[in-house]
């Protein structure tokens, strides 16, 4: 079994896990919450020249500094002013788990109001991918996901999502790697935090900053149809992944309760509209659970449902969670399911979850950390 390197890092003394959620109007605005033009406006309001915005973006997104003190060509009054009102980082890293071969890093952050958020950095031979969270908890409550067990606490701000990306970029560089891909497949439903998700993409996509290409970004959704339609009209050429997990309403409603509001037929119609408008292929995510959704009959039904569509199926063998009853099929069952779907002309990949031994599945590390904190109190 792969050994685990575990690092416990200091938390902010001002908050503790489970602190009361701060109302939206009182939430902390950090540097990473500011698009370039907003940063310029703030600087001008301070009486500083607008060109300082590019200098600060260079430090924050080019050199990936972690404090204003490192922005040496920015005058001290500006650095001090931003330090007092707009912290460069609003989250603290409180726990880190790393597999001994160094291919998967699981990071647990504490937000300024004491909430816990997860990020995963996955290193492959040909790419480095970060999986970011967009909410504390989740309201969708998929039956097989640890994130939704406690419901939704709050949305993350754009800056909190940006910080996850910046930190992953920095860590990749420290490992002599370049962050190549980003997936919004962590905690939360991105299309239920739509405004902040779009603001986040705007900030990291800006060529004056991180310059992270939209085509390297994948947004995953459980199927929020109005937002799928809205996303098709956005200027960013992001990829869309839809968490399908079942080919019919009866089964999908048991696994993904939001299916009661957005049933399979309507969801696929929205996916067709997205493809027609954007010309981009959709990935359908399919968490494979033994005895639940992995029979030959269900595989054929899935193949018939998706045949002829511009799509790809990611078969994801279930990542075991202590508190959930589902089990992963064996390797033979997994490959048989994928092969049946392929027979319908649908590109199908089996994608095993990374970092199973370090609780890398969504919500697992957060839940484990909360249990530890509770036991210690």
Our count of domains for the chain comes to: 2
CA distance linking residue 85 with residue 190, whole number of Å: 28
Strand partners, 284: 242, 313
CA distance linking residue 39 with residue 125, whole number of Å: 37
In a domain, 232, yes or no: yes
Question: Which active-site residues does the annotation give?
Answer: 118, 362
Q: Are 105 and 199 found together in one domain?
A: yes
In a domain, 22, yes or no: no
Q: Are 174 and 265 found together in one domain?
A: yes
Model confidence at 69, pLDDT cuts 50, 70, 90, reads very high
Query: Which residues touch 77 (CB under 8 Å, ≥6 apart)?
Result: none
In a domain, 25, yes or no: no
**Of the ranges 139-148, 182-191, 259-268, which one carries the lowest mean pLDDT score?**
139-148
- Residue-wise pLDDT for 291-349, tens only, equals 999 999 999 999 999 999 999 999 999 988 877 889 999 999 999 999 999 999 999 99
Domain boundary among the residues 47, 64, 85 is at 85
- Looking at residue 218, the DSSP 8-state letter turns out to be E
Domain of 110, CATH number, reads: 3.20.20.70
Q: Are 174 and 317 found together in one domain?
A: yes
Do 317 and 327 contact (CB within 8 A), yes or no? no
CA distance linking residue 181 with residue 173, whole number of Å: 14
Residue 56 main-chain phi, psi, to 5 deg: -70, -35
Cα–Cα separations (whole angstroms), residue 57 to 2, 65, 109, 272 = 39, 10, 23, 38
Domain boundary among the residues 27, 58, 85 is at 85
In a domain, 21, yes or no: no
Threshold 0.85, pTM exceeds:
yes
Strand partners, 118: 108
Cα–Cα separations (whole angstroms), residue 126 to 96, 181, 182, 218 = 24, 11, 14, 17
Query: Average pLDDT, whole number, for the chain?
Result: 90
Domain boundary among the residues 53, 85, 117 is at 85
Domain of 80, CATH number, reads: 1.10.150.530
In a domain, 191, yes or no: yes
Q: Are 260 and 156 found together in one domain?
A: yes
Q: Are 246 and 342 found together in one domain?
A: yes
Q: Are 78 and 118 found together in one domain?
A: no
- Residue-wise pLDDT for 344-364, tens only, equals 999 999 998 765 555 545 555
State the number of CA atoms in the 13 A half-sphere of 261 facing the CB. 9
Q: Are 258 and 121 found together in one domain?
A: yes
Q: Can you give the residue range of the structural domain that contains 64?
A: 35-85
In a domain, 19, yes or no: no
Q: Are 303 and 263 found together in one domain?
A: yes
In a domain, 26, yes or no: no
Q: Are 39 and 168 found together in one domain?
A: no
CA distance linking residue 370 with residue 9, whole number of Å: 15
Q: Are 81 and 97 found together in one domain?
A: no
Q: Are 111 and 242 found together in one domain?
A: yes
- Residue-wise pLDDT for 93-136, tens only, equals 999 999 878 899 999 999 999 999 999 999 999 999 999 999 99
Helix (H, G, I), strand (E, B) or coil at 44: helix
In a domain, 17, yes or no: no
Q: Are 115 and 238 found together in one domain?
A: yes
List the end-to-end C-alpha distance of the chain, in Å, as a whole number: 31
Do 221 and 181 contact (CB within 8 A), yes or no? no
């Amino acid at each position: 079994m792969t050994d685990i390197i575990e690092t416990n890092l200091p938390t902010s003394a001002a908050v503790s896990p489970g602190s009361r959620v701060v109302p939206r109007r009182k939430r902390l605005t950090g540097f990473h919450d500011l698009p370039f033009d907003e940063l310029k406006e703030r600087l001008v309001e301070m009486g500083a020249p607008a060109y300082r915005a590019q200098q600060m973006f260079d430090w924050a997104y080019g050199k990936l500094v972690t404090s204003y003190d490192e922005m040496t060509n920015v005058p001290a009054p500006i650095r001090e002013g931003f330090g007092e009102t707009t912290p460069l980082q609003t989250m603290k890293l409180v726990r880190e788990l790393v597999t001994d071969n160094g291919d998967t890093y699981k990071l647990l952050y504490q937000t300024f109001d004491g909430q816990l958020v997860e990020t995963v950095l996955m290193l492959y031979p040909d790419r480095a991918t970060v999986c970011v969270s967009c909410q504390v908890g989740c309201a969708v409550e998929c039956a097989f996901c640890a994130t939704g067990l406690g419901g939704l606490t709050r949305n993350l701000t754009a800056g909190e999502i940006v910080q996850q990306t910046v930190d992953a970029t920095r860590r990749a560089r420290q490992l002599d790697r370049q962050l190549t891909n980003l997936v919004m497949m962590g905690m939360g439903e991105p299309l239920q935090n739509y405004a902040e998700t779009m603001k986040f993409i705007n900030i990291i996509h800006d060529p004056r900053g991180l310059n992270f290409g939209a085509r390297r970004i994948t947004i995953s959704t459980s199927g929020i149809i109005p937002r799928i339609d809205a996303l098709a009209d956005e200027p960013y050429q992001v990829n869309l992944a839809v968490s399908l997990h079942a080919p019919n309403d009866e089964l999908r409603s048991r696994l993904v309760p939001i299916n009661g509001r957005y049933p399979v037929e309507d969801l696929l119609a929205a996916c067709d509209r997205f493809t027609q408008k954007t010309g981009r292929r959709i990935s359908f995510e399919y968490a494979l659970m033994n005895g639940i959704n992995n029979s030959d009959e269900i595989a054929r039904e899935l193949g018939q449902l998706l045949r002829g569509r511009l799509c790809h199926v990611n078969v994801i063998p279930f990542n075991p969670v202590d508190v959930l009853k589902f089990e992963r099929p064996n390797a033979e069952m997994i490959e048989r399911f994928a092969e049946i779907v392929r027979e319908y002309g649908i590109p199908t990949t089996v994608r095993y979850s990374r970092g199973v031994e370090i609780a890398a599945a969504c919500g697992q590390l957060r839940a484990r950390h909360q249990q530890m904190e509770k036991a210690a109190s």
